[in-house]
Amino acid sequence: MAILEILEYPDPRLRTVAAPVTQVDERIRTIINNMFDTMYDAPGIGLAATQVNVHERIITIDVSEDKTEPLVFINPEIQVLEGELETMQEGCLSVPGFYEDVTRIEHCLVTAIDKDGQPFELECTGLLAVCIQHEVDHLEGKLMVDYISPLKRNRIKDKLEKKHKAEARQGKR
């Protein structure tokens, strides 16, 4: 498999709204396998296809401690279930090195298609619920920095732009 480049904020491609997957075929399964390799290598617990410059509605997640519970969501739709709002500190592979408090619903139902093209539903709570909402945001062109103050967002943007310029000078980007 392949390790894909993860786009980093403020890359404008992260704002692209992903298109629905119309057919789950070998091409889509290859993207999924590469996304898992990339996510585990990063290391992360979730990755949206948008983050690797594939603008299709595909998400990979594994919130297990030992990376043995991979989940694939193609064309995911979230329905809010009863429950409280929960604030958790979130990180993002596209906003490396920064963690911010984000408030999301703690209980949701996700309908999606799996890697074999089969529809399914999954009730999500806790970290999984937060992760799926975070990744669906990516498919909509939304980032965790959109939930924080403009001042903090600009500070993060400036630091990452400075990092990207330094990497470009060193030939890493």
Q: What 3-state DSSP class applies to 96?
A: strand
138 is in an annotated binding site: yes
124 is in an annotated binding site: no
Q: Which two tokens stand for residue 14?
A: 């992260």
Contact (CB, 8 A) for 76 and 114: no
Q: Give every CB contact of residue 47 below 8 A, 6+ residues apart in sequence.
A: 6, 35, 36, 38, 39, 59, 60, 61, 93, 135
The DSSP letter of residue 3 is P
55 is in an annotated binding site: no
The alpha carbons of the chain give a radius of gyration, in whole angstroms, of 16
Q: Which residues are catalytic?
A: 135
Give backbone dihedrals phi and psi of 30, rounded to 5 degrees, phi first.
-65, -45
Q: Please give the annotated binding residues for Fe cation, written as ranges.
A: 92, 134, 138
Q: Please give the annotated binding residues, written as ranges.
A: 92, 134, 138
